[in-house]
Amino acid sequence: MPKKVYTGKVVSDKMDKTVVVAVTRTFQHPLYKKTVKKITKFKAHDEENRCKAGDTVQIIESRPMSKDKRWQVIKIIEGEGR
């Protein structure tokens, strides 16, 4: 089964080798048909501490690295951390 890949924005880079990435998805409500925006935050591993708050990054599913960390930063799409 292929691993999930999401694109999101870094909202926190205060931890060592870890960033918090907010992934926004929009979907239609099944009953009311209104477009709903849902934001999910993931803790992702950033080995070289390259990501800064505000960067747009791509994350991929990985093995558990700590209690909450199950994602890894693949690449920085947009931002200062390039």
Q: How do the domains of the chain map onto residue ranges? A: 5-42+54-78
Residue 8: other Cβ atoms inside 10 A: 24
User: Measured between alpha carbons, how far is 45 from 13 in angstroms, rounded to an integer?
Assistant: 11
Percent of the chain that is helix, strand, coil (3-state, to 5): 0, 55, 45
From the list 1, 9, 3, the residue with the least C-alpha distance to 76 is 9
Q: What is residue 79's predicted lDDT score, i.e. its pLDDT?
A: 83
**pLDDT (0 to 100) of residue 25:** 97
pTM score: 0.90
Superfamily designation of domain 5-42+54-78? Nucleic acid-binding proteins (2.40.50.140)
Tens of pLDDT, residue by residue, the chain (82 residues) = 999 999 999 999 999 999 999 999 999 999 999 999 999 999 999 999 999 999 999 999 999 999 999 999 999 998 875 5
pLDDT of residue 24: 98
